[in-house]
Structure 1
Amino acid sequence: MSYTIALNFEDGVTRFIGCKEGETVLDAAYRQKVNLPMDCSDGVCGTCKGHCEQGEFDMGDEYIEEALSDEEAAEGMVLTCQMVPSSDCVIQVPVASSLCKTEVGKVEGTVAAVEQLSEDSIELVVDLDEGAEIAFLPGQYVHIDVPGTEVHRSYSFSSLPGEQRATFLIRNIPNGVMSGYLGERAAAGDRLTLTGPLGSFYIREVTRPVLMLAGGTGLAPFLSMLSQLVEKGCEAPIHLIYGVNKDDHLVKVDALDEFAAKLPSFTYATVVVDEASEHPRKGYVTHHMDAEVMHDGDVDVYLCGPPPMVDAVLKHFDAQGIVPQSFHYEKFTPNEAGSKS
């Protein structure tokens, strides 16, 4: 028996390691050349302290109160030198990956397809090299080098972790470096380098209702999240509000219909900004966040979209006095090297 442990470092790098049954996370990390912080390895100093966001484990009783208090343990804090997982886990490590002598991973792949979904969005399909599957948490992103240039752009996966074929929704930006490549030069078989995974925007264990807010190609990470929820099953209410500027910017609606058919607890609504649209729901996502989807604040909110959308949602929460149980968001800014665009 082996468990997959996602180590999320404070610089946004995620490293996945395997942990054998009965093995501590610290020992598993060192075995795989990830030097997690450590001084004593006996549960005395507290140097290896982190936060377990999800998963089951046993901490035993060999550590002392000064290293990990009862209050900290109740909040999910762990000592990796004592933590023995009994399931897959996600752990926040409060140091940079470079200090643990680990690096963000790189994988190679080839362009399988490029499809113009609308004037506003392009789907990129990448076949990863054999044996080069990239592990990630649904919602995370990678840097993709733009062929023929020395720059990269960053995109969230829209596909499920562990698949040999990775997909991405990419905003079509006039004169954009990646947009220009995809629209003018890309061909099946082109070689691509993907660096990652990165980011703290990913689906956590679902224990209450979830509200997903997507703007444009910010839909991508939610497609990945929903794929995992369908695979694992979920009974909690999941509602997605997907906003775009124009009617023909709505993409992947057929995929959302499939998710709704496979996951009874999932519902979604589309919103169009254009006042000339005949769409039944016009305006911004904040105009359609009614009390029913907010569950009196007993809700986990995930938001991915351009900065103005993120700012508008934050202001809406403040104006309405809404404090969700948790709020996770990802901003993407066009035309910047390494941006989520």
Structure 2
Amino acid sequence: MSHIIKIFPSSIEFSGKDDESILDSALSAGIHLEHSCKNGDCGVCESELLAGSAVDAEGKLYGEGDRILTCNCKPRSSLELHAHYFPELAGQVKRVVPCKVSSAMMASHDVLKLILRTPPTSKTGFLPGQYINLQFKGVTRSYSIANANENDGIELHIRNVPNGQMSSLLFDALQENTLMRLEGPCGTFFIRSSERPIIFLAGGTGFAPVKAMVEQLLADKSKREIYIYWGMPTAKDFYSDLPSEWSSTFDNVHFIPVVSSNDDSWVGRKGFVHHAIMEDFNSLESFDIYACGSPLMIDASKKDFIANNLSVDNFYSDAFTASK
């Protein structure tokens, strides 16, 4: 059965099936509601139910005034939702396209830099910050795109997960020209038009979408102040020198690496990476913040940043959920 789903305050509507999540119905209709992981872990797609009823994957029923995850709930009637809709993504069509390995090289002891090429007629049209679903030998995993210009291919930063299904395939002498498939573009993590200074918060390979977004800002000759806070467990885990190079080359780019463990070889900032931001700014009222990393890091930083005067509307995130 189909139901009419209306989105406010944008006043758009689409048809939703009672056997399909609200988010999937929206995306099928070309309507990009805010989302990231699509499995209920990150909470990015949380929306307010203004009218009607919906049920989640566990069978819990929600009604007017409840907050729901659109990726995890199906309609049980016509609905009215307060949710974020992104017209910037309206022209995008997510599809599966073939790709081949252009290069695969270790960026560090546990991070693979993988570059894929697609046929000239099969460009994804991604925005820097979005991700793709990589399909290889029956395994599918989501990875953020780490470059801004698709003409250079699709760059991915992939951490070696012990006993991980995809890791065992990719870190075992992957050959050039190996055929794979990718689905995309996915997600609603991208740079919003603004003149406000930006703070990027990255944990681990959460640097990948940050790299893409900073590349785009620099290509556009943006004058916005850009602060890059990148957290890693140890000093040897940092796998790119680009942030340091940017900060040396561009007056508006500032790089602050932070190590969370008791690493005696590290003489820089230590502790939780988002705490470094709190230490450096008395108020976050004037900033846009883009955070990418674990759900735990994102949840903790969002709470602390809002307590430090950041508007919830100026916090954008992409959570990396664990999978094997």
**CA RMSD for the aligned pairs?**
3.1
Aligned to 2:39: none
C-alpha distance in structure 2 between counterparts of 1:170 and 1:239, whole Å: 24
Aligned to 1:136: 126
Instruction: Name the TM-score, length of structure 2 as normaliser.
Output: 0.69
C-alpha distance in structure 2 between counterparts of 1:312 and 1:170, whole Å: 24
Aligned to 1:173: 161
CA positional deviation for 1:128: 2.0
Distance change in 2, residues 1:232/1:122 (3 Å): same
C-alpha distance in structure 1 between counterparts of 2:118 and 2:30, whole Å: 29
User: Is the Cα contact below 8 Å between 1:12 and 1:199 reproduced in 2?
Assistant: no
Aligned to 2:255: 268
Give the counterpart letter for 2:122 in structure 1: A
Distance change in 2, residues 1:12/1:326 (3 Å): farther
Instruction: Name the TM-score, length of structure 1 as normaliser.
Output: 0.66
Give the counterpart letter for 2:182 in structure 1: L
CA positional deviation for 1:130: 3.0
Q: Which string of whole-angstrom CA distances, capped at 9 and with x for unpartnered residues, describes residues 140-186 of structure 1? A: 0010102x2x2210111101133242111111100112211111152
Superposed counterparts of 1:245-260, under 5 Å: 245-253=233-241, 255-260=242-247
Over the matched positions of the two proteins, sequence identity in percent amounts to: 28
Superposed counterparts of 1:144-293, under 5 Å: 144-146=134-136, 148=137, 150-253=138-241, 255-279=242-266, 280-290=268-278, 292-293=280-281
Give the counterpart letter for 1:91 in structure 2: P
C-alpha distance in structure 2 between counterparts of 1:114 and 1:298, whole Å: 40
Give the counterpart letter for 2:172 in structure 1: E
User: Is the Cα contact below 8 Å between 2:201 and 2:228 reproduced in 1?
Assistant: yes
CA positional deviation for 1:250: 0.4
Distance change in 2, residues 1:296/1:144 (3 Å): closer
C-alpha distance in structure 2 between counterparts of 1:186 and 1:210, whole Å: 37
CA positional deviation for 1:290: 3.8
Q: Which string of whole-angstrom CA distances, capped at 9 and with x for unpartnered residues, describes residues 54-111 of structure 1? A: xxxxxxxxxxxxxxxxxxxxxxxxxxxxxxxxxxxx6168xxx9xx9x9522222211
User: Is the Cα contact below 8 Å between 2:128 and 2:190 reproduced in 1?
Assistant: yes
Figure out how many residues of one structure are paired with residues of the other and give that number.
Answer: 251
C-alpha distance in structure 2 between counterparts of 1:36 and 1:168, whole Å: 26
Q: Secondary structure at the residue paired with 1:136?
A: coil
Aligned to 2:115: 125
Within the alignment, does 1:11 sit opposite 2:23 as a pair? Answer: yes
User: Is the Cα contact below 8 Å between 1:305 and 1:331 reproduced in 2?
Assistant: yes
Kindly name which structure, 1 or 2, has the bigger radius of gyration based on alpha carbons.
1
C-alpha distance in structure 2 between counterparts of 1:160 and 1:320, whole Å: 31
C-alpha distance in structure 1 between counterparts of 2:127 and 2:88, whole Å: 13
C-alpha distance in structure 2 between counterparts of 1:205 and 1:285, whole Å: 26
C-alpha distance in structure 1 between counterparts of 2:96 and 2:26, whole Å: 12
Distance change in 2, residues 1:91/1:124 (3 Å): same
Aligned to 2:56: none
User: Is the Cα contact below 8 Å between 1:109 and 1:193 reproduced in 2?
Assistant: yes
Question: What stretches of structure 1 move > 3 A for 4+ residues in a row?
Answer: 9-15, 34-37, 290-296, 318-325
Aligned to 1:303: 291
Q: Secondary structure at the residue paired with 1:289?
A: helix
Aligned to 1:91: 87
